[in-house]
Amino acid sequence: MTRSERKPLLMLMVNMFVVMMGIGLVIPILPYYIEAFGASSVELGLLIAIFSFMQFLLAPFWGRLSDKVGRKPLIAVGMFGFAVAEFIFAFATQFWMLFVSRILAGAFGSAVMPAAMAYVSDRTSEEKRGHGMGLLGASMALGIVVGPGIGGWLAEFSLATPFLFAGFAASFAAIFSLLWLPESLPLEKRKTEVEPVNQFVQMWQAVRSPIGFLLFLVFGLSFGLANFQTIFGIFALHRFHYNPSEVGFIMVLTGIVGAIAQGSLVGRLTERYGEEKVVLGSLSLSGIGFLIMMLAFNYWTVIATTCLFFLGNSILRPAVQSFLSKMAEDQQGMIMGLNNSFLSLGNVVGALLAGLLFEWNMFLPYTVGAFVMFASLGATFRWLSKRASQGKHPEKSSP
């Protein structure tokens, strides 16, 4: 990757890091906000779900718009909007203001990811795309890891301080992007019109297209991760009686494993073995991680099993996204927007279902997660075999 390619990629990584850090720092603080406003756990669940739901609704629109106006304006607007959302959360005096903040954060945060992914697709060759997606994924994983730590530390000063920090960070990132990030989509390649499309009609059409299976796979990997993360803390408390610092250390460690895997392994593995084998292998690791997590019996086996799951899931996401981008032709923004919608939908369903299943049995969320991963593995193997029999390989094929 040349220097001219590395500089924009670095700026994109900073943007994604800031967004994911802003999302991550909510994790240790939100329960205290809920308690301060006298709200219930049901409202807590709604606050968590509404962020991903807004991403689900709006990511395809932002993706299509980036195909018309370019990637840079959407990245800058998304970062400014995310900053406003963080400031609203910091200064909230009534409970409804928290909902407004989460709605805006999900709406504008969803503009950044598809535009950034489409930017990488614009500026990299097919051979280097997996590496570029992996670096972008690494910055996201690192943001999620660092976010809870920053949130917990800054909350010692006040509950509002972490959100003020995230708001200022997003504002600076937006200004830097606006001033110094070069546009990746030339005028001659931009769409002249952005037709209004019903979100659900578009998703249904995409599911029936050549990329449909990959979008189902995106939903599955997101469902698995949300399923795992949502109940890990309470699982560790009920089963092992861990305190927050012990759970936090495990989450930081697994996040570091994920970031390293996405930053250094994904590109090498996809270049050497191809997306097909990488996807199959990472699905297997994720499923095994779910299963053996239920067999963990002490602190070190918990660390080992969670790291195994996060290793598989961290390799899986950019590999699938790279595979998807190779089939997107000149509709990178729209396809990456759809990708983000299916990711968000998986987050919503995975988190809500995990909480419900945990009420019945603490092992049930992991059992369902393992089933989804292994079912996805079998379906992927069948899909790839069918493509091979038809003489198809990763290629440009729009929905």
**How do residues 309-321 score in pLDDT, each as one tens digit?**
888 888 887 777 7
DSSP secondary structure code for residue 25 in this structure? T
Instruction: Give the contacts of 310 (CB within 8 A, at least 6 positions apart).
Output: 254, 255, 257, 258, 261, 289
- pLDDT tens digit sequence for 17-64: 998 888 877 766 776 676 678 766 567 667 877 888 887 788 778 878
Residue 89 has pLDDT above 90, yes or no: yes
Distance between CA atoms of residues 189 and 305, nearest Å:
46
Distance between CA atoms of residues 254 and 303, nearest Å:
8
pLDDT at 398: 42
CATH topology identical between 1-136+145-182 and 198-389: yes
b or e along 61-81 (b: 16 or more beta carbons within 10 Å of the residue's beta carbon)? Answer: bbbbbbbebbbbbbbbbbbbb
Residue 83 has pLDDT above 90, yes or no: yes
Region for 356 from its dihedrals, namely left if φ exceeds 0, alpha if ψ lies in -120 to 50, beta otherwise: alpha
Overall pTM surpassing 0.95 (yes/no): no
CATH class of this structure's domain 1-136+145-182: mainly alpha
Residue 1 has pLDDT above 70, yes or no: no
Question: Binning pLDDT at 50, 70 and 90, where does residue 139 land?
Answer: confident
Residue ranges of alpha helices (H) inside the chain are 3-24, 30-36, 41-69, 71-90, 95-123, 126-154, 161-180, 199-207, 212-240, 244-260, 266-293, 299-326, 332-360, 364-389
Residue 380 has pLDDT above 80, yes or no: yes
Least confident residue range of 26-40, 273-287, 349-363: 26-40
pLDDT at 40: 63
In CATH terms, 198-389 corresponds, of 3.40.50.2300, 2.20.25.90, 3.40.50.1970, 1.20.1250.20, to: 1.20.1250.20
For the chain, domain boundaries:
1-136+145-182, 198-389
Distance between CA atoms of residues 79 and 83, nearest Å:
6
Distance between CA atoms of residues 229 and 333, nearest Å:
28
User: Looking at residues 91-112, what average pLDDT do you find?
Assistant: 91
pLDDT at 397: 41
Question: Binning pLDDT at 50, 70 and 90, where does residue 190 land?
Answer: confident
pLDDT at 87: 96
The separation between the first and the last C-alpha atoms of the chain, rounded to the nearest angstrom, is 30
Percent of the chain past pLDDT 70, that is, above it, reads: 85
Percent of the chain past pLDDT 90, that is, above it, reads: 12
Distance between CA atoms of residues 79 and 177, nearest Å:
9
Q: Which two tokens stand for residue 263?
A: 């930053």
Mean pLDDT (the chain) is: 80
Least confident residue range of 64-78, 102-116, 183-197, 313-327: 183-197
CA 178 remoteness from chain centre: 24
Distance between CA atoms of residues 46 and 37, nearest Å:
15
Of these ranges, 57-71, 208-222, 284-298, the one predicted with the greatest mean pLDDT is: 284-298
pLDDT at 42: 64
Least confident residue range of 212-216, 220-224, 240-244: 240-244
Region for 152 from its dihedrals, namely left if φ exceeds 0, alpha if ψ lies in -120 to 50, beta otherwise: alpha
Least confident residue range of 81-90, 94-103, 264-273: 264-273
- pLDDT tens digit sequence for 330-346: 566 667 667 777 887 88
Contact 32, 155 (CB under 8 A): yes
pLDDT at 103: 94
CB atoms < 10 A from the CB of 271, how many?
Answer: 14
Residue 108 has pLDDT above 90, yes or no: yes
pLDDT at 164: 95
- DSSP letters along 79-96, please? HHHHHHHHHHHHT--SHH
CB atoms < 10 A from the CB of 364, how many?
Answer: 17
Q: Is the dihedral of CA 22, 24, 30, 33 positive or negative?
A: negative
